[in-house]
Amino acid sequence: MRRLALSALVALLVALATPALAFAHDQPETQQSRWIMADWMLDTFFIFSGLAFIAFLAAWKAGHFQELDKIGSIPLYVDEEDYYTPEWALDEEEWEE
């Protein structure tokens, strides 16, 4: 019972201390602190774009981009019902003139 109370107390203290950590990183508004968000945005942009470029190069070297014109025409060979053309457009009376 004592161990349960101690763990509940620790969990309560952690829950109460967590919001303080959110306020601890706030900085006073100065000329330099205005650029903090821009720095993080630029850093994450360059990190993720660099990782995407490395993944693109790996896919290219693995040969995943060969003969894309042939692969792109595969959906044209699928025979399915035309859902997009309205019935009035298929009316043959218009084409008899």
The first and second tokens of residue 12, run together, are: 């309560």
16-50 residue pLDDT tens: 777 666 665 665 677 766 677 778 888 899 999 99
Domain boundaries, the chain: 37-77
| Distance (Å, whole) CA 17 – CA 10 | 10
Distance of CA 7 to the CA centre of its chain: 38
Confirm whether pTM is higher than 0.85.
Answer: no
Q: Which of 19-28, 55-64, 67-76 is least confident?
A: 19-28
| Distance (Å, whole) CA 60 – CA 86 | 42
| Distance (Å, whole) CA 4 – CA 8 | 6
